[in-house]
Structure 1
Amino acid sequence: MPPTSVAAPPGAVTAAERSLAPDLARGVMLLVIAVVHAHILHTLAHGGAAPSGVADTVTTVVVLAFGEGRGYPMFAALFGYGLASVYARRTARGDTWPATRSLIRRRGRWLFVFGILHTLLLFFGDILAVYGLIALLFAGMLVRSDRRLLVWGAVWAVAGTGVYALVNNLLVADVEGATQVLAHPLTDIATRAMTWPAMAPLLLITSVFPFLVGVWAARRDVLTAPERNRALLARTAAVGIPVGVVGGLPYALVSAGVWAAGPGTATATGWVFMLTGYAGGFGYAALIALVAARMGARRGPVATALAACGERSMTSYLLQSVAWIVLFAPYMLDLAVRVNGTAAVAMGVGVWAATVVLADVLRRAGIRGPAESALRRLTYGPRHSARGAAAGQPAARR
């Protein structure tokens, strides 16, 4: 791309500098996030009971085998990829590691604040605060060797998913028959506040491994130069996606009530489900990167809109949570108890499609996502944020 006339802040990326594959991956995988969240909220509204009817049973199996536990790992990997890219750019410009670490931790602190507000106001399963904690606690991994990254990643993968499966099984048994979404906004907020200390550590311990893999991949430009990494991406997609689906099927069958497994078996299937979810998430990202490499600069309107959604993934993610409150909360439309699980999942698809359309409208107008703009301003300062936005406008209007 030709250089822009106005410099962005060190470590920030203008619209002209963005690569297609990461944004396209985020845009597509936000569909997975929307479908999974709609399914989870519908299930909780029905007290965690197994689905009734053939359609809802099939929907539950498909959502769990192909979606749940597969979207968040990919986003964690992309988060690590992004922080490693920031470190690489700042190092190339001559910045010291302490200065770069300070920037990354400042970003992490503000992500944490965004996540806490998101939890209190909108959604109990927030991931933004978790990524903020990762930036604060694991920034030092950006300067560690590849060997250290992979060794620590393997430890976190096995131990983190094991703990998650065990605790999640206990929590499911404890809340079965109870609804998680309460009938008054204030009690709903209070419930989410009390749920966060239990949810956040579980999401944290299962996000460290993909974060480290993302750092490793960024050092090789796996997504930003997919045409040079076709063989690796093809192997990852060919192996990762089937492993993710097959590994997720036993837990999906248990959750759908098709397989009446005991507590020990349910925990074991949950562990395999989480562990193979990493493979599925990486496989999806690799497949999307291959598609991006094949398109090159010849992207059509659909790919452009999906990439615009991915570029505004934080805004789109938060808008999804607004939609869940409006559609499913008992003090709003309360549709979760009025429709079946298949219809709830279809609503999730509709919510995602609406965010894609909105993101493309913003792209055509040359406007960044509001959440991304706020985070950029808080991380780099208002002066740098304005410069970065000005530099990105021409590319956003193409």
Structure 2
Amino acid sequence: MKAVRSARVDTLRGIAVFGILLVNVWGFTYGSGLSRYGMIGEHAALADKLVVFLVAAFAEQKFYPIFAFLFGASFALQTGGRRAPGAQRDNIRMTYLRRVAWLLGCGLLHGTLLWFGDILTVYAVCGFWLATQTGRRLADIAVALRWVVALNVAVTLFMAYITYVLMTLTPDAIAWGVGEGARAHAVYSQGSLMEIAHERLADFWSNLANAAFFVPKVVLLFLMGVFSVRLGWLTHPQRHRALWRKVLLAALWVGVPLNLWWGWAALRDAVDPMTGAPLAAFVSMLLEVAGPLQAAGYVAALMCASEPVVATLAQWFAAVGRMALTNYLMQSVLCDLLLQGAGFGLGAVLSHGALVGVCVLIMIGQVLLSRWWMRRHRHGPAETLWRRFTGSSTLWKKQSPQ
């Protein structure tokens, strides 16, 4: 049966692509230092301070959870739950494994050649484990979910210890971190192609090493996506409005205040890390929960939205979401070209507000390009290569209209 796409899911994915750009753009310019937003100083323009606050409060750690959640949901849709017989289920699993193997290769190339903060590699690694859940009963997946939750609790406790260490850093250690951030900024925004490549590779492998603490959270989000499909939360949101309203209320009353606090702490750290770094370390620990909670609120808001609202948003974002992988990779190419020293080097001269302006221009261009492309093709360029390599057309699919 031909798959029926969901306008809500495509729109949500498209919005998430742009949210990720707002978060990633700082890394292309300032590297992977302790202070994501670099230093702006006490006398920075109000616009610069405002964008740091808004991006930290409303974007940071809000959109990768949506992507991970939708990744798990897509797995459930592509593998058809428990409806496939044994031989067909094995074929589906092997096809899915080819998909994540391709994604792993794409992520490694992306991370080494374009963007050290690549997320595809981690998704692929988690995807290999997710493939083992093909065809399992929901009760069995629930057992796995409990183990994953326990693992996340253990990681959170360890991260709490790391947070304590960061909060007790000496002024000399903070000053060293500020100096390293300035050095990385100079390399990325003014360095040669080889200097940037060396810095990127070091940051990428460091990022992969730290992913050991990140993988449990991604797996948890994957499983929540699986449950959202198997229980109909995502595929039939109109039947679960009460649930989505509760999620939205939790995000508003708990998530928003904590994330506003993080926005303020991140701004203080960017203005004066000598006094702001300890508070930023503490609040960033709360962000590990507050970020995904607010992300859940974004999902809930779209699930509760009326059909006219969804239709209006879909006009702008659905095509972007249908070719999300292409747009994600394209953003890295454009940020490298525009911001880094091997390209136009704008990262060395643009203010924080202007960096967000570059993001807005990229978003507008991707909306127009995605709408033009999807009127002529079924899939984006990267998605087409992915499907051809993995034989994804053999996957059993039946997506419910929404």
| Preserved contact between residue 265 and residue 276 of structure 2 (Cα < 8 Å) | no
Aligned to 2:334: 323
Within 5 Å, give how 1:1-398 maps onto structure 2: 4=2, 14=3, 17-44=4-31, 49-52=38-41, 53=44, 54-88=46-80, 91-96=82-87, 97-141=89-133, 143=136, 145-161=140-156, 166=162, 174=177, 175-179=180-184, 181-182=187-188, 183-200=191-208, 201=211, 202-257=213-268, 265-291=279-305, 294-295=307-308, 299-300=311-312, 302-380=313-391, 384=393
Aligned pairs, how many? 368
Amino acid at match of 2:184: T
Q: Is the 8 A contact 2:28 2:340 kept in 1?
A: no
Q: 1:262 deviation in Å?
A: 7.1
- What RMSD, in angstroms, separates the aligned Cα atoms of the two structures? 3.1
Q: Which amino acid aligns with 1:50?
A: M
Moved more, 21-30 or 45-54: 45-54
- Matching residue's letter, 2:284: G
Match of 2:400 in 1: none
Q: Are the structure 2 counterparts of residues 154 and 93 from structure 1 closer, same or farther at C-alpha, using a change threshold of 3 Å?
A: closer
SS at match of 1:223: coil
Gap change, CA 1:223 and 1:112, over 3 Å in 2: same
Deviation at 1:162, TM superposition (A): 5.5
Shift of 1:265: 4.4
Q: CA deviation at 1:130?
A: 1.0
Letter in 1 for 2:365: A
- C-alpha separation in 2, matches of 1:218 and 1:133: 22
Instruction: Assess, with a 3 A threshold, how the Cα gap between structure 1 residues 366 and 41 changes in structure 2: closer, same or farther.
Output: closer
User: TM-score normalized by structure 2?
Assistant: 0.81
Counterpart contact for 1:326–1:333, Cα < 8 Å: yes
Alpha-carbon spacing, 1:101–1:34, altered in 2? closer, same or farther (3 Å):
same
Q: CA deviation at 1:348?
A: 0.9
Contact 2:148 2:216 in 1 (8 A): no
**Structure 2: how far apart are the matches of 1:264 and 1:93?**
53
Partners of 2:32 and 2:15 in 1: how far apart? 27
User: Structure 1 residues 45 and 77, CA, compared in 2 at 3 Å: closer, same or farther?
Assistant: closer
* Aligned position for 1:9: none
Judged with a 3 Å threshold, the aligned counterparts in structure 2 of structure 1 residues 92 and 146 are, in CA distance, closer, same or farther, namely closer
The percentage of aligned residue pairs carrying the same residue is 26
